[in-house]
Amino acid sequence: MPAAFYRIGAIVIALVLIILIALASGEAPLSIATALWNGAFGTFDQIGRVGSTLTVLLLCSTGLIYTFNAGLYNLGIEGQISLGAIAATLGLRLFGEALPAPVAIALAIVLGMAGGMLWGLLAGALKVFGKISEIFAGLGLNFVAQGLAIYLIFGPWKRPGVASSSGTEPFKDTLWLGTFGQTEATPVGLALALIAIVATIIILRGTYFGLKLRAVGRNLRASYILGIPATRQLLSAFVICGALAGLGGAIQVLGNFHRLTPTISGNLGFLGLLVVMLSSFDPRLVLPIAFFFSAINVGSLQLPLVLERVDSSISGVIQGMLVLFALIGRGLAEVRGKN
């Protein structure tokens, strides 16, 4: 059986199962699909929401391209987003009044990247020097970041009067990133995300750094023998991913929520893991897949309003099924597929 048979067959099975689950809910799959489409693209507001989700999801996925190609499972990405958000909030609190708005915003963005970089570097150092699995280190650091955010929201940075779990005091609107009209999407954010993915496509295929990263990710031992120092490559991957995730966190604060909230990362880091796994670590597929997942996320929010029997969590079912079966298909293709 050719390898493609397993890969495509798996996706087909996933779609069939999704349709069966939809049928089990009692609604026609077609009406669910229509509701999803309308929920994502029906109004400009909703398209804008897709755009703002895509911005952060694309940044995280781009960062994860580096870590996945280096052979790492950077589950700490959620914490890296949170630290970026915290650092950006710190920046605005420190400089929001003192400096002109565009400068303060730019500084907050830079600080956000630095915050994410720091958190990524921490996970990387634990992995490289402490020989701790980056999965455990990442998840542990996620908890720490989450705790730090909650501490700041209920402690030093709490709203005047009573602390609120909806987050810190919102920043005044001069410190908001400009948007497309009245929508949530920010041109600055979207542009940065698109620049990041295009640059990554070029870097991964066309530079020595990208080649060495891929070599280390596929065979650490042989790369070492061939003279590639693994430490530098692995730490670089963590730093780059952390920076991009931190940028995502900064944009969440500056563009979407305008304050620090307890769930500022919005699980977009984990969703980014799914995007990159579905793309087989190929950066050229990241944008379309991220767009698709963003659309499903936003579209599914409308479902319980339009259809009686379906909940928005069906988005997770769709995304998860696709990734799971894509991985199964890829595994079977590798073991049994002929080329």
Kindly state whether residue 302 participates in binding other proteins, applying the rule CB under 8 A: no
Dihedral Cα 31, 33, 36, 40, nearest 10 deg: -120
Binding range to other proteins, per CB under 8 A, among 135-143, 206-214, 310-318, 327-335 = 206-214
222 binds other proteins (CB under 8 A): yes
Which of 218, 284, 309, 336 lies at the binding interface for other proteins (CB under 8 A)?
Answer: 218
* Residue partners of 43: CB distance under 8 A and separation at least 6: none
Using rule CB under 8 A, residue 223 touches other proteins: yes
Contacts of 319 (CB under 8 A, 6+ apart): 271, 274, 293, 296
d(CA 199, CA 209): 13
Round to whole Å and give the CA distance between 157 and 190.
29
Q: Point out which span in 170-178, 181-189, 192-200, 205-213 binds other proteins (CB under 8 A).
A: 205-213
For other proteins, the binding residue among 215, 253, 254, 318 (CB under 8 A) is: 215
**Distances 89 to 188, 190, 256 between C-alpha atoms, Å:** 18, 20, 13
Q: In the complex with other proteins, which residue's Cβ is closer, 174 or 207?
A: 207
Binding-residue total with other proteins (CB under 8 A): 19
In degrees, rounded to 5, the angle at the alpha carbon of residue 129 between the alpha carbons of residues 126 and 132 is 45
Residue number, 45 or 334, with CB nearest to other proteins: 334
Task: Give the binding range for other proteins (CB under 8 A) out of 29-37, 90-98, 149-157, 221-229.
Answer: 221-229
Minimal distance in Å, beta carbon 335 to other proteins? 14
Pick from 19, 63, 103: which is nearest to 197 by CA?
63
3-state secondary structure of 338: strand
Neighbouring residues of 297: CB distance < 8 A, sequence distance ≥ 6: 53, 271, 315
CB of 205 to other proteins, least distance (A): 8
Selected binder of other proteins within 154, 180, 209, 270 (CB under 8 A)? 209
* Burial call 174-205: b when 16+ CB within 10 Å, e when fewer: ebbbebeeebbbbebbbebbbebbeebbebbe
Question: What DSSP element (H or E) covers 39?
Answer: helix 29-41
Q: For other proteins, which stretch binds (CB under 8 A), given 16-24, 103-111, 209-217, 265-273?
A: 209-217
Using CB under 8 A as the binding rule, the residues of this chain from 224 to 283 that contact other proteins are: 224-229
Query: Of the two residues 8 and 222, which places its CB atom closer to other proteins in the complex?
Result: 222
Judged by CB under 8 A, which stretch of 170-178, 179-187, 202-210, 288-296 contacts other proteins? 202-210
Closer residue to other proteins in complex, CB, 2/102: 2
Q: Tell me the closest approach of the beta carbon of residue 67 to other proteins, in angstroms.
A: 17
- Site membership for other proteins, residue 219 (CB under 8 A): yes
Note the residues at the interface with other proteins (CB under 8 A): 206-209, 211-212, 214-215, 218-219, 221-229
